[in-house]
Amino acid sequence: DFLPLEHDRLGILIADVAGKGTSAALYMAELKGLVLSLSRHHVSPRQMLIEANSIISKHLDARSFITMTYAVVDLRARTMTCSRAGHCPLIYVPGPDSVSRAGQVLTPEGMVLGLQFDLGDTFDRLLEEVTLPLGRGDLFVLYTDGISEAMNPQGDCFGDQRLVELAQRHADLTCDALRERILSEVHTFAGDAAQHDDMTMVLVKIN
């Protein structure tokens, strides 16, 4: 989801609940409402995730957890700040004004939300927050493991590296065109193999 915030900032949320069915859908709906509320009170993605984990861990059953990345784009400061709670990496491709346009895999440290083995001390200690300066044409790709773990009939996964190379090769496409290109490549790779997980992707390009 995209969450308009005050002072020319935009919150970006992507998350995945372990498991399927009604309970997973309810947990995701609860998380979305929680983030909508907490994002108004926390400028820091890390602090927002810490409070979200403190609240959501009281409601999940012992077998469930949630992976999540939350980022804040600050258009005045020209920065993106993000934290990653056990979710897939972020892919970053610098814009045309950069010295190098090599795609990068961003993996800030962080564990999943909702585990109840302590009072949240481990979650708080491990969770990192990173801030990147933004330039014209910078591209960010956030996704769920339904894309990176899409399998072909031989049991091979599409993988993060293929996604990085694809984003780098086609970084100058519009977001709509790039989304269709990525999904087409994933489906071509998978061939006749059954889709085993949902596919969610968020593309962000800086003007």
State pLDDT tens for residues 144-154: 999 999 999 99
Q: Give 92-127 pLDDT, tens digit per residue.
A: 999 999 999 999 999 999 999 998 778 778 999 999
Nearest to 85 by CA among 18, 161, 177: 18
- Evaluate the CA torsion angle 48, 109, 167, 157 in order and state its sign: negative
pTM: predicted TM-score of the whole model, two decimal places: 0.92
Ramachandran category for residue 175: left, alpha or beta (phi over 0 → left; psi -120 to 50 → alpha):
alpha
Terminal Cα-to-Cα distance of the chain (whole angstroms): 19
Quote the pLDDT of residue 118: 81
C-alpha 35/C-alpha 91 separation (Å) is 23
C-alpha 12/C-alpha 56 separation (Å) is 19
Quote the pLDDT of residue 25: 84
